[in-house]
Amino acid sequence: MAADEKWLREWEAIMNRIESIDARLWQGAGILLLLSVGGISLLGWDLPISRADLIFAVGSGVFSLLVLAVWWFIFHRWIHLQRIYSYRAREIETELELRLNRYARLFE
């Protein structure tokens, strides 16, 4: 029974880690949404009139694209880690005859 308790503690730690990754993904998506709306409203008030306005608009656009590219890499790394954790959780569930991740995988 001690081995079952070790596996159960590991399974709980893995599930907490998966939930943590999910929370970070949603927080990051919310921040990006706010930044996108803020950037559009900042640049959308008027057409660039002077050279400085045009440089600011182009610089903001390039910065936004860089932020999105970095976020894309971070997002895919977190998703990859989440898949690894889910795989290990399914292994433990097989040993303990649990079903949560097996059924949750059907929705993926």
pTM over 0.85: no
Query: Domain residues of the chain, as ranges?
Result: 2-105
pLDDT at position 1 is: 59
* Residue 61: C-alpha distances to residues 33, 42, 44, 56, 68 (Å): 15, 11, 12, 9, 11
pLDDT at position 80 is: 92
* pLDDT, tens only, 39-86: 666 666 666 678 887 787 778 778 878 888 888 888 889 889 988 998
The mean pLDDT value of the chain amounts to 80
Distance from C-alpha of 79 to C-alpha of 84, rounded to nearest angstrom: 9
Give the range with max mean pLDDT: 4-13, 29-38, 42-51. 4-13
